[in-house]
Amino acid sequence: MPISPLDFKIIPPVIGHRGACAYAPENTLASFFKAKQLGVKWVELDIQMTADQELVVFHDDEISRTTNGHGRIQDHPLSYLKSLDAGSWFHPKFSGEKIPTLQEVIAFFQEQDLAVNIEIKAQSTDPKIMADKIVGMISENLKKKIFPFFISSFDTAILKQVKKANPALPIAHLADQWSDDWQEICDELDCIAFDLNYKTVTEEKVQEVLATNRLVLAYTVNDPAIAARLFSWGVSGVFSDCPDKIIAVLSS
């Protein structure tokens, strides 16, 4: 049976965006470990597929912003991507940090008792191939040790393929703008949550989503005052580059 939002808790209601990317290079093990040190229980990451169909944790389509390489993730094999430095761009002390695979990160989360939002980035990759690989990897790891997670994407085509592969997996629909067909999309995907750009969130919209028995998650919130307002409206959780600052608001 698909998981119910009533059984799905994000506590504290803060998700570390790409780990704790205000303090360490995004989407690296260093960033996820920093989030753990800050008291974060949930982190968000982005996944893409390499030229040789390996799943790696990386945000941008092009690799030059956060590594010493060039080109697109999907045009390179894992061996080349693993040769790159994914930390020096942020600070010299992170020199040698690598682009992690999804498998490496899941193993780390299981060891550290972290929960994860796996965001699938849209690519020219066949949605079915990518969805099958993701679902297969998650299923194999769940046999070893249960870890809380949900899958999200702006790309509804790949979310549909994930649901076909395993209807029980928790799904969230990501949107940068509010659209009138949001409920139709969420119903079709049986979403547990609707994830929105915080700039488009209003109290009325939050209540509209909550009325459909779904969580409302807002990204990317780095201002504690904005987070407090969103929580007062009923937002279930926020994504933050500096999650410790938002957690501090909750305990004050």
Tens of pLDDT along 164-192?
Answer: 999 999 999 999 999 999 999 999 999 99
- Using the predicted structure, report yes or no on whether residue 138 has a pLDDT greater than 60: yes
Q: Is a pLDDT exceeding 60 seen at residue 6?
A: no
Angle formed by the axes of helices 224-233 and 203-210, to 10°? 50
Assess whether pLDDT exceeds 90 at residue 240. yes
Distinct helix (H) and strand (E) counts, the chain: 9, 9
Share of the chain above pLDDT 90, in %: 92
pLDDT of residue 96: 96
Which sequence spans correspond to the domains of the chain? 5-48+100-251
How close are the terminal C-alpha atoms of the chain, in Å?
Answer: 38
Measured CA distances, 239 to 26, 69, 130, 155, 217 (Å): 13, 28, 25, 19, 8
What CA–CA distance (Å, rounded) separates 222 from 12?
15
Domain 5-48+100-251, architecture per CATH: Alpha-Beta Barrel (3.20)
pTM confidence score: 0.95
Mean pLDDT for 212-220 is 97
H or E stretch covering 165? helix 156-165
As beta bridge partners, residue 196 has 175, 218
Q: Which residues of 211-233 are buried (b: 16+ CB within 10 A; e: fewer)?
A: eeebbbbbbbbbebebbeebbeb
Nearest-CA neighbor of 241 among 25, 78, 48, 57? 25
Q: CA dihedral defined by 103, 80, 125, 127, rounded to 10 degrees?
A: 0
d(CA 117, CA 28): 15
For 18-42, write each residue's pLDDT tens digit.
Answer: 999 999 999 999 999 999 999 999 9
* Residue positions annotated with a catalytic role: 17, 59
